[in-house]
Structures are given as C-alpha cells and as structure tokens.
Amino acid sequence: MEYTGERFIPDNDGIEIEAEHIHRYKAISSSLKNMKVLDAGCGTGYGSLLMSQYALNVTGIDISDETIEWCNSHYEAQKNLNFIQASLDSLPFNDSEFDCIVIFEVIEHVNKEIQNSFLKEAKRVLKPNGILIISTPNKSVYTDKSGYHNPFHISEFYIDDFKSFLKQEFKNVKLYNQSLYLVSSISDEAMKERRVRVIQNSSIDTEGKYMIALCSNGENPASYIDLSSVYKYDSSFSINMSSLYASSKEGNYSQDHKQSTVLVTDEDNRFSVTFDISHLPDPSHFRFDPVENCFCICNIDEVLTDGEVKSIVPLNALKYQKRGFLFMNIDPQFEIRGEFNQATFITITGYFKVMTPVEISEIVDDIYQQMIQTIKKNNSIPPQG
C-alpha cells in the first residue's frame, strides 16, 4: 500500500508516532475479552489485529476499498477478524450488534455533519451497555501551540468541544490525555507496582496532545476500564506471522501442507499459537517457523496436542541466548517429531522476541571479539615438531 501520510502504516512513520498509535490499542485490548468489537476507520488494520487477540471477534471498516482489500489479504489467517468497506455515517449493522466500538484518530478526518451522523450510528449499533472508545487530537496542543496544520484533518476539537460533542448521545464520558515524552522508568523488581507517580518539568503542558474518551449510556465504563498506563518500546511494531509445515508422505515440507497464524506476544514476550491438524494426512513431524524475515530469540517451552510429542529441535539456531535460541538468519525453524496419526490440534507455547538493532549490534560485536580471541590463541601456539 502506498504511504501517503494519511493512514498510519507500521514501519513507515517514525518510531515515536508508531508508539503513540500502538499504545492506544495496547491500553484497551486486554479489557475486550469476549466482546464483539467494531474498529471504525481501521486503516491498515494493525489495531484490529491487536484487539482480535483478546476480543471474541473484530470487524474493521474503512471508506477505502483499497485499504479493505489490503487488510483482508494480509490478515486472512486470523479467523475472528474481518474487514468490510463502509462509511462512518451509515454503519451497515443491526441495532445493538456490538459490545464496543473503537475509533482512533479518525473523527477529525470528516466534516461535522458526518461526525454527528457517526455518533448517532454508534449509539444505534452498540448494545445498551456498550462502550464507545474514541480518540482525537487536542486542537489546542496538536495545532495551535505547534503551528502545524495537518492537511488531512477537516474538523478538529478543543477539549470542551469534544466533551459537548460526545454528550449529545452518551451520558457517561470519561476523558484521558495522551502525550509522548522522553521517560525514565523506575519500578519495583517484580514489575507489579501499578501506581505511577508523575514527575515532570514545569514547562510541560498538562494538556495532552491527544484526547481519548470512554463513552457509555449504561454502566460507567471507567469503573472497569482504566487506560492510565506507560507504554515501553524500543523498536518498531511489526506483525509477525508464524507458520506450521506438516511433513508429506515423502517426508518433505511443502507449501501444500502449510498453515499460518499471527504470533502475538504478551508483556513478558510469551506466545501461544494453535493449529488445526485434523485434516492432515498422518504427518510424522512438523516444522514450526515462528517468524519470517527477521532476527529473533525464540524458545518452545511446551507443545500441547492430542497426539504424542517425542522431540523438539531448533534447526538453524546460532546458540542459546538468555531466554531462548538465537537465530541470526531470516528463517528460524524448529522441528517437532512424534506420533500424530489421529491428532486434531497442536498448540505451541514459548518465548519470542524480535531483536532490536542495538541487540544485533551487540551480538555481532561479541561474535567478532570471540573470533579475534580465537585467532590470537591459535597464533600463540608454537609450531610442533
């Protein structure tokens, strides 16, 4: 998809802009368990994908046919996720269909007439206790104080305007501020402290660059959803697709026996992926590729199946590195052998982390130093005979 600046595309914007976008979805995703979610103005679908790891199912809509086609082709492996072309002012859904509607950095891209129509439509398709989670730039900070005018923004909001707008259709409105700063983090050893004491320079605005609102006409969503959080990041967000190859009758791996799914990690870099193997012709072994086209550290902790696992072997790892095997190539692989004649599923759990440029540099430097030491050691051995 061509990058124009209107839609956020992971790996195309700066890492700071990426962090702002990813943080919003990360902050809400774990609260969406068992919910039917609408992602309005889904763009490239990265947020829909993140939410689908927790929600019962997610539907993404966008006005652009090209965008919807791109999302459907890139995320087809995620079975509880779908995308359709639709406009904000005419949502093609039944009354009371969704538990939650998410619309991040979209409402400012349309005029006031469409904004008001969307709000009515959101109320209509939400269940009585449904939640609208909406974000938009704070015009005072984003535009007025910065002097920057986004050419794709048609109608921005000040804080009071935003609250008044939302309260036209929703009686409960809880507002959050979001801004990106250089942050030094201090936390307890176990990383379990949830409270955060904010220490900031007096020159920093108390208003956020972005406003995020929780809206409802039923139970106050602020009573069970809290967006207050600090998002730690050190590299760009990427969508990792893992694959499982089943052996053929000849014992080879081929595209004919390949399945793919999205590999998403939690805060501790843990992952769990499940594959349906009930339709496969009696495989004796599998090859699991946790990711494609990047360096990583990965380890399989456990394989759950109704078959029998006999061995798990990394095929092309360089060495074991702290939490997992170090793969300094673009095609990390594990081979899983056992008895799977009547098996119907296989679930793989473990540790996975894409290596940052800093980590890659440190490892390459370490390998280089080891080579130098080996050369020096060999040159210091006196000739024999």
Q: Is the pLDDT of residue 22 over 60?
A: yes
In this predicted structure, what is the pLDDT of residue 356?
77
In this predicted structure, what is the pLDDT of residue 341?
85
Q: Is the pLDDT of residue 385 over 70?
A: no
pLDDT, mean over the chain = 86
- pLDDT, tens digit, for every residue of 247-262? 866 667 877 778 888 7
Q: Is the pLDDT of residue 345 over 60?
A: yes
Residue 381 pLDDT level (bands cut at 50, 70, 90):
low
- Which tokens go with 107? 């409402």
Query: How many angstroms separate the CA atoms of 200 and 116, rounded?
Result: 37
In this predicted structure, what is the pLDDT of residue 298?
94
E strands, the chain, are 36-40, 57-62, 81-85, 98-104, 126-137, 172-178, 210-216, 240-247, 253-263, 270-276, 285-289, 296-305, 308-314, 319-321, 324-327, 334-339, 345-354
Query: How many angstroms separate the CA atoms of 301 and 324, rounded?
Result: 9
Query: How many angstroms separate the CA atoms of 7 and 13, rounded?
Result: 10
Provide the whole-model pTM: 0.72
- pLDDT, tens digit, for every residue of 172-189? 999 999 988 777 777 776
In this predicted structure, what is the pLDDT of residue 250?
66
Residue 191 pLDDT level (bands cut at 50, 70, 90):
low
Pick 73 or 348 by higher pLDDT: 348
Mean pLDDT within 86-112: 97
- Indicate the range of 48-52, 108-112, 284-288, 293-297 predicted with least confidence: 293-297
Q: Is the pLDDT of residue 364 over 90?
A: no
Q: Is the pLDDT of residue 384 over 70?
A: no
- pLDDT, tens digit, for every residue of 214-240? 999 987 877 778 888 888 776 556 667
Which residue reads 């305007």 in tokens?
A: 161
Q: Is the pLDDT of residue 363 over 90?
A: no
Identity of the amino acid at 205: D
Is residue 289 within 8 Å of 243, Cβ to Cβ? yes
In this predicted structure, what is the pLDDT of residue 212?
95
Q: Is the pLDDT of residue 333 over 70?
A: yes
Identity of the amino acid at 44: T
